[in-house]
Amino acid sequence: MRLLCPTVVGRAAELDLLGRLVPAAARGTGGTVFLTGSAGMGKTRLARAVQQQADELGLVVLRGRAVPSVQFRPLTEALLGAVRRGVAPDPAGLGPYRSAIAGLVPEWGLPRSPDLDGHPVVLAEAVLRLLVGVAGDRGCLLVLEDLHDADADTLMIVDYLADNIADQPVLLLGTMRPGHECTALAYAAEQRRSASVLALSPLDPAAVRLMAAGCLGVAPAEVPQAALDRVVRSSDGVPFYVEELLSDMVTNAMLISAGEGEADGGPASSDAVASPVPAAVRAGVTDRARRLSVAAQRLLMVAAVCSQPCPGPVLGAGAGLDASGLRIVLREVTGADLLTVDSRTGRYAFPHALVADAVRDSALPEELAEASRSAAEAIERTCAGLPEEWCVLAGRLWEDAGEDERAATLFHRAGRRAADQGAVRTAVTLLERGLRLATRGAGSHPETGLIVEALLEMLVASGEVTRARRLSAQVDRHVAAAQRAAVHLRVARAAVAAGQWDAGRRELAEVRELTGPDAGTALTAATDVVAARLAVADDDAYRLRRAEELARRALRTAGAGPLPDLACEALAVLGVCARVDDLGRADELFARGLAVAERYGLTLWRIRFLFHLGAHAAIRYADPAGLVEARDTASDAGAVITALDGDAELAVLQTCRGEYEPAARRALHCEQVAHRLGLDELRLIALGLRICVAAHRGRRDEVTELLAAYDGSGGRHCDFTAALQGFGLAVCSLLEEDHARAYAEMTEAVALESNRPPEYLSLNHGLHLLLTVLAGTAGWAQYDSLALSARGQAGWNRLFMAVAGAVLAGRGGDHDLADRMMAEFDQVAAAYPLGRHLGLRLAAEAAVEDGWGRPGPWLRLAEQHFHAVGVPRVADACRALLRRAGERAPQRRHGADRIPAVLRQAGVTVREYEVLALLVDRMTNQQIGERLFVSPRTVETHVTRLLAKTGLADRTALADHARSVTARTGDPGREPAERGSAR
């Protein structure tokens, strides 16, 4: 008879903390708690108490337990429980994460497509979203037990959940034994303040007395002292040991007269083997086992070496029992409380892991090896095809039996299955284990080469290119030349994808040396296309020509195959090369690739070509349709990261089109998701896009705040900084009429882009050309150079190029050409509100100075636009230029509301306040006049009036007074832009 304590004893502090966290999760504030403690310390007992509280409060409770042989096992068990109980959300609500979650919830019947982005964190985000959907407005408790047995991918997801559920209605409770990888994960999460770790310590004697009383159903004072002394001495304060010792005492009628000799000095205590199980407990388990029949003892040993719940037929086959004998033996071992049966699954397991430890401790190594062999054979006979966890379990058992080759074969098979389920880290672990066993003996395992290839594929998928290269260096000892060439080609492709060009060249050289002139057509085409991608990355003048020759040769070979994947890759390289000079030609090549991808059902390539074509349509014509289709296609296919890239591209386009609110929302969404997924570069790009949106709205304060965050996150080393500098900051400076600053920022932006490949399409060059033309540092040669490049075909660039051409023509006296250029500008600029009106304002100033065009109508359009959107400095400049052109300027009496009360009471006007704002920077009358488009004499008049109205003695005192006002009310020099920010 096994005695159990009905309550949790000695865990008041732990219960108090968890008792506060459960209702907090119901209110929407989640968290993570890890319970650590050696076996038997009461982790499961405490977790059950928390589950009971959560049930009483109405939270949805999900529970899963890890076992050594199954990837994602605790998560799958927990999520399937949600589906069975009808509390799981509609999978359609998961959007692009549906595909990622398919393997964890097979009941949904979702298609299992490969992770097109190759990023395991996408699955973690999918689990998080599913849990939030389960929680609803009730809250959710997720209990994951025995995480020390969990696979690496499950631990990665647990780590991700810990970092991201604090603001969600989900409480994660994980249990684990110390000394495992998961313990390091738990304490690392605690250091990040993402989790709390509760290390369960042994019970003190007082708590042991309380627990013993609970087990016996008596008052604490009624527990016999002799029995209590023995339990305290032998249990080490471990709750499970307390129960076991008391159970043995009651069973053996020893409770009242428990003595020292039989319990502590008997045969068990003389067995001096190192064991985590105390001698007294081990003696009790061994004593119960010895009372069983020989057949029952064999079955018990098979269960012990399996170390996880197993169906009765598997245990029976391992013990050599027929069906009738199995029933008798199962009743025998369950009646002795040595095995229990799960009524839901029908599997048999030990009541506690320590019971299994005690059974194994009592056996000789030879007996364990023989039991492992019998169990492995039984699994292979009864589990056809070794599905699910049986493949890994059989592999472990063959390894324990000393059969390395058979074990290596099964770990290879299990690793490939894990890869198919998206468990990349688990696959790496299993394949590395298989490779170690396959190469441990003197002979050569026939599957060694296949294991190496599979492991390389997984290392590449997880981005571990350096480890893959080290592994490829060992491949020559195990596989034939053709396989070696394929391995080196795979690593070369991975190195190219990771931007490790030198490594890619070295691996490709190995391929060519191994294959020689007699390589097969598929290998030749694959080698050529990788060589073409490497050629694109070279830095000599002929690199694109070499890349095109190699890609065309690969395309011819692929077309004859047919080899559609290689054909798509070759067309992608050719399109990239064409993009340097001609976006139209690039589109033709990408369209050919799209047709191939659709014909052969190549989802990944279809998405890539849709993005190429959509991006070009957006760049050339400001047309979002293609990008939206590509983004939606990626989302439907589960390519989450690719879809996020599409959001970033759409945010750029929306900024160009003046759709600032949706652009800001899209960029913020992209930034938040990228941050959760750990995509640092994409997060910085999205933050940079938010800065660009603010810059295009003239919101300098917001730009400054976001730019500080960008720099603080290492943004200055991000490739997007060049775009941020020109497309963002320079535009903001132009909206403040600070042309010198804009020129400097745009010059810096173009310099930052000087080392970017020519196929990189920048939106800086059109505005840069215009600013340099206006400054007199560029002419027709620079115009022609940009016009002949693909950059000159981008709509945002073309509109400013057209203005630059008109300025050059007007300056040279060719007014007809200037008019044609401005007509082209009108056509291109229609889709870009800010670009159009900024171009009109800049063109008009040059037209006024050089006497060409129609500056009056241009300035009125521009002034009306900038006044309406709240960018007063450009509107003021337009009115000033109208007056210079001899035309009547609109009267805009705005800005009085932003004059501080102390100055407004002194009678300071809007224009005087603007002069005062510029005095803070110690500007001269000439500089102020240039900024406000008035004469120095007029500035001097305003200064004189300011001195009179403020009662100050001189210009220096006036500047100090302006600075004082700034400290109390904000920077008056920034308030015109701030007023226009609509905040």
- In the predicted model, is pLDDT for residue 980 greater than 60? no
What digits encode the pLDDT tens for the residues 419-476? 877 777 888 889 999 989 988 866 667 888 788 878 887 887 776 777 877 777 666 6
Structural domain ending residue among the three candidates 159, 183, 199: 199
> CATH no. for residue 954?
1.10.10.10
Q: Say if 729 falls within a structural domain.
A: no
Cβ(426)–Cβ(153) below 8 Å: yes
> CATH no. for residue 99?
3.40.50.300
- In the predicted model, is pLDDT for residue 301 greater than 50? yes
Q: Let me know whether 780 and 874 are in one domain.
A: yes
Higher pLDDT among residues 252 and 558, named by residue? 558
Give the Cα separation of 928 and 939 in Å (integer). 7
Containing 546, the helix (H) or strand (E) segment is helix 543-560
Q: Let me know whether 142 and 185 are in one domain.
A: yes
pLDDT at 4: 85
Q: Say if 391 falls within a structural domain.
A: no
Structural domain ending residue among the three candidates 172, 199, 226: 199
How many structural domains are present in the chain? 4
Cβ(512)–Cβ(549) below 8 Å: no
Q: Say if 53 falls within a structural domain.
A: yes
Q: Let me know whether 91 and 143 are in one domain.
A: yes
Domain with 133, as residue range(s), is 12-199
Q: Let me know whether 165 and 211 are in one domain.
A: no
Residue 956, C-beta contacts closer than 8 angstroms, at least 6 positions apart: none
Q: Let me know whether 210 and 130 are in one domain.
A: no
Higher pLDDT among residues 896 and 868, named by residue? 868
What digits encode the pLDDT tens for the residues 501-544? 888 898 888 888 888 765 567 888 899 999 999 998 888 888 89
In 91-137, the DSSP E strands lie at: none
Other CB atoms closer than 10 Å to residue 831's CB: what's the count? 18
pLDDT above 70: percentage of residues in the chain: 91
Q: Say if 161 falls within a structural domain.
A: yes
- In the predicted model, is pLDDT for residue 360 greater than 60? yes
- In the predicted model, is pLDDT for residue 156 greater than 70? yes
Three-state DSSP at 652 gives: helix
Q: Let me know whether 40 and 92 are in one domain.
A: yes
Q: Let me know whether 847 and 909 are in one domain.
A: no
Give the Cα separation of 929 and 939 in Å (integer). 6
Q: Let me know whether 777 and 807 are in one domain.
A: yes
3-state helix, strand, coil in the chain (%, to 5): 70, 5, 25
Q: Say if 617 falls within a structural domain.
A: no
Helices (H), 638-789: 640-656, 660-677, 680-696, 700-712, 721-723, 731-735, 739-752, 765-774, 780-787
Q: Let me know whether 105 and 132 are in one domain.
A: yes
Cβ(484)–Cβ(513) below 8 Å: no
Q: Let me know whether 81 and 153 are in one domain.
A: yes
Q: Say if 149 falls within a structural domain.
A: yes
- In the predicted model, is pLDDT for residue 732 greater than 90? yes
pLDDT band per the 50, 70, 90 thresholds, residue 385 = confident
Give the Cα separation of 287 and 272 in Å (integer). 17
What is the chain's mean pLDDT, rounded? Answer: 87
Higher pLDDT among residues 410 and 114, named by residue? 410
Summarize the confidence of residues 557-572 as an average pLDDT. Answer: 91
Summarize the confidence of residues 587-606 as an average pLDDT. Answer: 94
Q: Let me know whether 57 and 183 are in one domain.
A: yes
Amino acid, res. 428: V
Amino acid, res. 794: A
CA atoms within 13 A on the CB side of 535: 22
Q: Which of 296-310, 369-383, 465-479 has the lowest mean pLDDT?
A: 465-479
Q: Say if 838 falls within a structural domain.
A: yes
Q: Say if 829 falls within a structural domain.
A: yes
Q: Let me know whether 56 and 194 are in one domain.
A: yes
Max CA separation in the chain (angstroms): 120
Structural domain ending residue among the three candidates 161, 177, 199: 199
